[in-house]
Structure 1
């Protein structure tokens, strides 16, 4: 571990630590300006991958608002899924004097130069949801338990197909069904965790013949979807329907999808091929992830079967907690120090839990928690 936050505004950092710990006196016999002034001396650079996904917009807004509430200056940038743009944004953040970096990378292997520069200036680097690979210059990782997210994706598919009940216990169904498998972007470390968790969960059903992958395509490189792109997923599904399902005349029961945008592309291809507009009308069961509002509406309407809810507000809170720890000259709290090896080091991590969303628990998980409103779900659009 490097020597923590670089030494600009050291007295401010100390005061911030006192303020965040709740130990500052009301009247302020400490340094002039108190902890609020100290926080203003610290700039946190926040690099997000894109604004084309509702999920990343929500993450960026949540991180920015919580950092600002804590008193930090924030430099939030979105890179439009363009690697050189993200590299340039990080270079600029460092040049402009960022004291801490929170980075959700586009390609977890493409930022070594930028992070080496940051490390040389003593800037702590927090990887946000996507692990940064191939560098020692990443200090902490905040994410969800991504292997479990993959398990949940497969469980939701199995429930939709009738093999698991609402408690995700086996029902005893021995009917044989046909599925296809999609995975996330090969340059996103999380995608392999999702894939491994899902495939490990599906394996007993594939091994005993209850499930068959119609195309035979199951290795990660073949089923991955670069940049998690909806159009790319739709095109692959269309190609599968042509090559394996006679354009839609052969049965297909379900599709494992790792992300709601991919799910919507898959569903469009299936609907266009004549499988039906809803599950009740014959549309195959399709899983998802991220609880994007368009897909939540589709779940409510019986079109998409499920999604995985990863509450970005909690992830943002954990990223801010890690940043605050570095500001205080301390180590952030980790609850996993074994799972996330980036090729050069095992990165200490904090893992959060996720939930499976189906039609009958949308209200409990998404509305009651304030994540989406009923009006937003009805419209399928965030206000």
Structure 2
């Protein structure tokens, strides 16, 4: 009997030891959840990039540079192009929103119509960055661009130095693009005093529908016809419109005789500057813009504080803005700017 009891006691002791050992090995549920959280990989930030168009050289560059900048920072980006159609851009933005992006970056085709996109994004809890072009009448979270008024100022100053008196033609961008209005404001802030005292006459002033170069060509033809080919200077809203203005001038034998300003530092414009048929362009280092926009978009996605030193009124709110400085480029500094930065190669520019 005693022998049996001893064996029973030993058996209970072994069972208790095994239970205690198992309890020691079992993780505290709170500690286990905490450890799993630590071991779980951080969620990848997803950015939607809604672009107006890829028809022009510079926007292809923006797309590629922005994509690289986002991916270099460890995030993902889905890019859609609206092909200059505001209804399509709204539809594509809805698609991006439904895909579960964290931030929407938008280059609006129509500054007014894009306000609907901002509302849709905010209803889904998604913040919106306005890239290069400002969305009007909307609660935009951030605007990242170049100082577009300054772009216009640089154009007008360069042409005014060459032609302090005479007949000016102004070929603007798309009326639907708020940047076009900002650039025009900058141009006329420089010209107005000379206009008021009669030194400069703006004999033609027209927007270019949809930024289409062929519409700029029509505008320039009209300007020449209305003034019997007697004009002294042309300020065009970008290099594509400047190129078509030059085409119209060539047809009446004025190639290289009329100073022309553009902007965007496109390769064709740089070549025209070397050839002497375009006076200047405005260089906006879009690599800097793309990196800055990518970094700020990711910061917004992570709810990090962004300190901005400027605000731009878009008709509804004072939008926190990061505005980069554009650079006037002519024959004298072309090598030190767009070529030195690798924006274009010297071989391509001087070929």
TM-score interval for Structure 1 and Structure 2 normalised by the shorter chain: 0.7 to 0.9
1:115 deviates by: 2.1
1:228 deviates by: 1.6
**Hey, what does 1:22 align to over in structure 2?**
none
* Higher share of residues assigned helix: 2
> Which residue of 238, 249, 262 maps to 2:241?
262
Find out whether 1:235 has 2:208 as its counterpart.
no
**Hey, what does 1:322 align to over in structure 2?**
296
**Hey, what does 2:350 align to over in structure 1?**
378
Cα offsets for 1:206-239 (capped at 9, x unmatched) = 22222222x3x44xxxx11122221101101111
Find out whether 1:119 has 2:122 as its counterpart.
yes
Other structure's SS at 1:359 match? coil
> Which residue of 187, 193, 200 maps to 1:204?
193
> Which residue of 276, 281, 286 maps to 1:302?
276
**Hey, what does 2:100 align to over in structure 1?**
97
Contact 2:45 2:298 (8 Å CA) reproduced: no
**Hey, what does 1:355 align to over in structure 2?**
327
Cα offsets for 1:132-165 (capped at 9, x unmatched) = 11222x100001111111111101211332x4xx
> Which residue of 148, 156, 159 maps to 1:157?
159
Q: TM-score, normalised by structure 2?
A: 0.86
Aligned mates of 1:160, 1:317 — CA distance in 2? 36
Residue-pair matches, total: 317
- Cα 1:178–1:125 change in 2 (3 A) is same
Contact 1:322 1:333 (8 Å CA) reproduced: no
**Hey, what does 2:4 align to over in structure 1?**
none
**Hey, what does 1:68 align to over in structure 2?**
71
1:270 deviates by: 0.6
**5+ long unaligned stretches in structure 1:** 1-28, 164-175
* Higher share of residues assigned strand: 2
Aligned mates of 2:114, 2:328 — CA distance in 1? 33
1:321 deviates by: 2.1
Larger Rg: 2
**Hey, what does 2:20 align to over in structure 1?**
none
Aligned mates of 1:51, 1:346 — CA distance in 2? 29
Aligned mates of 2:305, 2:92 — CA distance in 1? 26
Other structure's SS at 2:333 match? helix
Contact 1:153 1:258 (8 Å CA) reproduced: no
Cα offsets for 1:53-102 (capped at 9, x unmatched) = 11111111111110011111110112211112211211110111111111
